[in-house]
Structure 1
Amino acid sequence: MQLWISPLIAFLLGSIPFGLIIAKLKGIDIRAHGSGNIGATNVLRVVGKKYGITCLILDALKGYLPVVLALNLVQIENKTVMPMLGFLQDFALHLPREQQLTGQLVHVLTAFCAIIGHNFSPWVGFKGGKGIATSAGVLIALMPFAIILLIFVWLLTFLTTRYVALASIVAAAALPILTHIGARFHHINNDKTQPTLWEAGTWNKPLFVFTIIIAVLAIWKHRSNIERLRAGTENRFERKRKKVHSDPKAS
């Protein structure tokens, strides 16, 4: 059961269209406004900032929670689980080190199902968002240090260009590169006297393949944004300018 329950929960939770629900509560069909996307960015533009942030958090959680569940239900010998959900320990499947590939595949499949559920939700005709927030949620659970670097890449690109779509595309492209670098420099048990995971051949191969797939998927889901960027018609977040009030006494 531990091997299939987490991917199933991930798809079902990932398929909940929070953006559509939030907008509907305000009497708006988000699919008929803005970019037509049900993701947090369009909700923010059309419905408002606090609703967009709420959607962002909920979309991230539906990626984060099922992966945390998988990490706790399917554990690998000598691998630390963070965060540890103590109440699940009686139900956990403990795999020996020799079967770590099985555990890694379950964790990665769970993450993938959450993103697929979001991007191709059966509740909205197998359509959905672009998966950036949900991808961030699964990555926080799988590789939290990498997400810090990705946020830096995203912010740097956004603050430089003011394009959310371009920042998301650049961050997606950077993900497999960061995963590869992490395997090259991360030592076994964080002990620098030990070989790196790459040298020992124990690096997480399913995770690397997963990052390539979700990077390609994220960029593909942004193909309409890429066309608008090339045409110069993509929506851009402009800095708010302070209003200058003239002093009537000075005239």
Structure 2
Amino acid sequence: MSINYLVLVAYLVVTFLVCGIPFGKIIARARGVDIQKVGSGNIGTTNVAREIGKGAAALTLLLDAGKGALATGLALWFFPAFITGGVSVAPHGDAAGLEGLVTLAAICGHIFSPFLHFHGGKGIAVGVGTLLGFAWPVGLMELAIFLVIAVASKRVSAGSVTVAAILGPVFALIYGPNLGLDLLLELAGLVVVWAHRSNIKKLINGQEKEFSFHKRGDKPEPDDDTIGESK
């Protein structure tokens, strides 16, 4: 294995670890709440919004998306110095799969956080962040699709599952087909869909809660039956 690939593997491991930092749990704990024991038990923005409030949710969203953007943004800058032979890491380049690998590592780090016994969030914020870091038009399009569906349905999970499922095709639509990258992005999207499996079941059964913000003075609600699954 050449030094270039050793560096790539090291970068993917660091990406997994950094993106596994559970910012939602840290922010909620600073407010005196264990976010894994209230609401849905999820450490992501939606549960933080419902159980803590707007400010904490906004900070969670910013940090979760930021770690994803940092991972792919730094990869664009970092790897041209190590990959030889004129290989490009641009979205249309021959080695574009590198960004797909980084995206997959970032999303898996968040969903399977090594700091929470391999439980974590559901990957949407960090996933959109990775797209904004290396292919912002796709990130903005996915964000727009998410907002339209989430607002229309009043259910964040509906928007989340949709954008995750169509990630690869949307990327191919904008930049043209790139089999390696498209497959890696679709795999990352399917991991996010898998993380939403309990939400999908509730959507099908009409049991998914509408999105709402925590109101001052309300106590966090006890956790529901989604706790114990990968979040």
Q: Compute the displacement of 1:112 (Å).
A: 1.5
Query: Which secondary structure state, in structure 2, belongs to the residue aligned with residue 95 of structure 1?
Result: coil
Query: Which secondary structure state, in structure 2, belongs to the residue aligned with residue 59 of structure 1?
Result: helix
Residue equivalent to 1:36: 41
Q: Which has the higher contact order (CA 8 A, sep 6+)?
A: 2
Q: Is this contact kept in 1: 2:108–2:191, CA < 8 A?
A: no
1:95 paired with 2:84, answer yes
Sequence identity, in percent? 35
1:139 paired with 2:97, answer no
1:148 paired with 2:137, answer no
Q: Compute the displacement of 1:11 (Å).
A: 1.1
Residue equivalent to 1:18: 23
Deviations 1:32-53 (A, max 9, x none): 1111101111011101111011
Q: Is this contact kept in 2: 1:7–1:106, CA < 8 A?
A: no
Please tell me the root mean square deviation across aligned C-alpha atoms, in Å: 2.1
1:236 paired with 2:210, answer yes
Q: Matches of 2:51 and 2:102 in 1, distance apart?
A: 31
Residue equivalent to 1:74: 79
Q: Compute the displacement of 1:238 (Å).
A: 6.4
From the superposition, tell whether residues 67 and 181 of structure 1 become closer, same or farther in structure 2 (CA, over 3 Å): same
Q: Matches of 1:105 and 1:68 in 2, distance apart?
A: 14
Task: Give ranges in structure 1 of 5+ residues lacking alignment.
Answer: 76-91, 185-197, 199-203, 240-251
Q: Is this contact kept in 2: 1:10–1:67, CA < 8 A?
A: no
Q: Matches of 1:155 and 1:233 in 2, distance apart?
A: 21
Residue equivalent to 2:217: none
Residue equivalent to 1:113: 105
1:212 paired with 2:186, answer yes
From the superposition, tell whether residues 135 and 122 of structure 1 become closer, same or farther in structure 2 (CA, over 3 Å): same
Task: Give ranges in structure 2 of 5+ residues lacking alignment.
Answer: 1-5, 214-231
Q: Compute the displacement of 1:10 (Å).
A: 0.6
Query: Which secondary structure state, in structure 2, belongs to the residue aligned with residue 61 of structure 1?
Result: helix
Q: Matches of 1:115 and 1:206 in 2, distance apart?
A: 17
Matched AA of 1:58? L
Deviations 1:25-79 (A, max 9, x none): 111111111111011110111011110110011011111112112111112xxxx
Q: Matches of 1:53 and 1:234 in 2, distance apart?
A: 22
Deviations 1:195-228 (A, max 9, x none): xxx5xxxxx3322012211221111111111111
Matched AA of 2:195? K
Residue equivalent to 2:167: 175
Aligned residues: 205
Q: Is this contact kept in 2: 1:95–1:103, CA < 8 A?
A: no
Q: Matches of 2:39 and 2:212 in 1, distance apart?
A: 16
Q: What is the TM-score with the length of structure 2 in the denominator?
A: 0.81
Query: Which secondary structure state, in structure 2, belongs to the residue aligned with residue 27 of structure 1?
Result: coil
From the superposition, tell whether residues 106 and 211 of structure 1 become closer, same or farther in structure 2 (CA, over 3 Å): closer
1:161 paired with 2:153, answer yes
